[in-house]
Every structure is written in C-alpha cells, then in structure tokens.
Amino acid sequence: MDSTIKRPYFKNIAIAALLMVCMSVEAGTQDVERGNEALMRQHLGREADRAGLVSREGNIDRTETIEAGGSRGMEDQLYSTRRDGSYSPATDKRLMALFEKRKLRAAKGDIVAQLNLGLMYFKGEGTSQNNSEAARWLQRPAEQGYAEAQYALAELYSSGVGITRSYEEAAVWYRKAAEQGFGAAQYKIGIMYAEGYGVRYNAIEAEKWLAKAAEGGDAKMQFNLAERYANGQGVRFNPREAEKWYRTAAMQGDPEMQFFVGRLYRNQGDLVVQNREEAMVWFNKAAEKGHAASKASLGVMYLNGEGIPIDMIQAYKWLSLAATSDKDMGGSQKTLQIAEDKTFLEEVRGTSREYLKIAEERMSEEQVKEAKKLAEEWQRKYK
C-alpha cells in the first residue's frame, strides 16, 4: 500500500450501508478529490513517499554493489534489517561510515556515489536529512539518466522543502523517470496531468501514465485508476475499465478491495451489472482474511435470500462470525488510528448481533446448533 493513497479506502461507509441492498457506491480514496495545493502536496510531496522510493523500486545501492563486484555490505543491510523504536538511520555508526565513504567518492566525480550520496541526504541515512544537499548531488546523476535520481529530484521539487517548490520542474523529472519505466514516477506524472499541476491538464496523457503505473502491479495504483475511471476524474468516464481495474486490484488479495468489489456486484449501480453470485465470491475471499463487514454482508444475503435461496443456517453462521470478529477490516485498514478501527469494528459487531437475533427467531434449536457447529469449523480453518 504505497503511501500515495489515503487509507482506509472505505472509512466513510456507513454501517447500515454495508449490510443493506440499496447501498450507494462511494468514492473512497483521496485521489478522486479535485485538487488544491494542499492536496497536491499530499499526492506528490509527502515525507512518507521517501521511504517508498526504496520499497517500490528496490535498494539503489545495487548499482554501487555491482561496480564493486560483490554482495551488499553490512552497512547497506543494516537499514533494512534493524528497525526498533530507538533506531535512527541518521546516527547509525555504520551508515555514517558509509556516508563518509560515498562523500569522498562523490567529490572525486564518481557518478554512482553521487547518486547514492544524494539519496542518503534525501532519506536521512548516515546524516541529517538535507533536501538542498540531496538536490545538489542528485542533479548530475539525474541529467545522466538515472531514473532513481530523476524521481528523487522530482519529489524534492514537488515538496518544496529545502528547495524552491516548482511543480513544472517536478513534472519534467517525473516524466523522464516515467519514460524509463519507473512505476512511482509514472503514477505521479499521471496525477499531474489529471489535475493540471506543473503541466497542462491532459486526460489522454493522464490515462496513459496512470495505466502504465497500474500495469506494474501495484494494487493501490490499480485501485486509484479504477476510481478515476468510475468518476471521470481527470480521465474519461469508463465503467468497463473501472470494473477491470477494481477487479485487478482486488485479485491481489487486499480484503478491503475484495469487499469493495463485492459491494459493487451486490448493488444495482452504474458501473457493473448486478451479480449477487459474484458478490458472494468476493465477500468470501475477504471473509477468509477476517474481514468483519464481509462476513456480515454474507450473513444478510443468506438471511434475505439475495440472489440465492434463503438459508438461515448459513445466515446465522456468518452473522455470528461477524458479531464475534476480533479482527479489524483487514489489509490496509491496519493503518487506521486504533480508536477509529475499534469503533468501526464495534459497529459492525453490533449490527451483526441485531441481524443475528432476527435469524435466531426464525430457526429451530437444531438449526442453531448446526449453524454454531459450522461457525466453529470455519474459525478453526481460517484462524
């Protein structure tokens, strides 16, 4: 989950809407909101994205390692293996030593050392984070075609921290990196074309670059593209493409995305043809990962006979699992503040208990006993 998209996607969904047929499809990511400068900073200049440079594209130190003809040294391993609460990469002695070595090489004109030194300034590794120094050392590698340097330089210009903000300059470097296949840069330049920041608004270019980024396999970028197609936000309105990318993102296993796709198929809307059987497939996938609202949705569908025969035993099973769920929404929901997470889960549990009472009133003792047995078996299988 790439930090460029606000999470959770479905935070504002009302509990009643989760469990009833006539639910409206809501936009869930911050990327679908029309821009102002504060939003653009969030898209393009957040400090959190700096860590994403490594996680999305791999450790840039691979270039220097190849030049040395060996594997990554202990200095480079440290940053990714040591992560306790007291650790600071800026003051780690081995990273500090690596920083000094690179500084010497960079001063002698070693282009790879300049690149890595710039990134150390950029990320605050082995030294205090310093954007102006990062920009100075990244400039030459960027001009010589290093996509990592181009992307980092674009991030600096878009953030305006330590250097003068220039969306125009950011767009130049994002595009250069994007043209080399750098996924994060493809996403960012796509956003800029969609919102008209640093470049003239161009729906065709926005769609082209956002699609390239989505094709790279990042589920959040895929979901973002689906949202834009679904809302005609910066790209043309295209329900078929929206459905395709929602499904593609959900197939990667995030339970919130699977739940969202289940909702799309459960309800009659403008994007997809209502398909309750398909909805149940996606709710089941999310439920297997502990997604409480998906369990509740399955329970209500069996209770009401939505596209399937009424089955009180299955309704009771799923509603009881939802009512006693000890997990959050799953997947990207884990980025919620703890208080919000617990509140939402309690609402799902509470609503499920209400429906559970309705189901129990319609069941015999033997049916309740069978439903409880099935719920216990399910818990043993998926816990």
Mean pLDDT value of segment 89-109? 91
Give every CB contact of residue 257 below 8 A, 6+ residues apart in sequence. Answer: 9, 219, 223, 246, 249, 250, 331
Average pLDDT, the chain: 79
Classify each residue of 337-373 as buried b or exposed e, where b means 16 or more C-beta atoms within 10 Å of its C-beta: eeeebeebbebbbebbeebbeebbeebeeeebebbee
**What is the rounded distance in angstroms from the CA atom of residue 91 to the CA atom of residue 221?**
34
- Single-letter code of the amino acid located at 367: Q
Residue 307 CB-half CA count within 13 A: 16
In 3D space, the residue among 206, 254, 200 whose CA is nearest the CA of residue 228 turns out to be 206
Cβ pair 135, 153 in contact under 8 A = yes
Mean pLDDT value of segment 9-37? 36
**Digit-coded pLDDT (tens) for 77-89:** 333 334 444 567 8
**Residue 53 scores a pLDDT above 90:** no
pLDDT category, 327, cuts 50, 70, 90? low
**Digit-coded pLDDT (tens) for 238-256:** 999 999 999 999 999 999 9
**Residue 72 scores a pLDDT above 80:** no
pTM of the predicted structure, to 2 decimals: 0.73
Residue ranges of domains in the chain, CATH in brackets? 33-216 (1.25.40.10), 275-382 (no CATH)
Q: What is the 3-state secondary structure (H, E, C) of 276-340?
A: HHHHHHHHHHHHCCCCHHHHHHHHHHHHHCCCCCCCHHHHHHHHHHHHCCCCCCCHHHHHCCHHH
Q: 53-62, 83-92, 101-110, 335-344: lowest mean pLDDT where?
A: 53-62
**Digit-coded pLDDT (tens) for 337-357:** 344 567 878 889 999 999 999
Task: Report the percent of the chain where pLDDT is more than 90.
Answer: 65
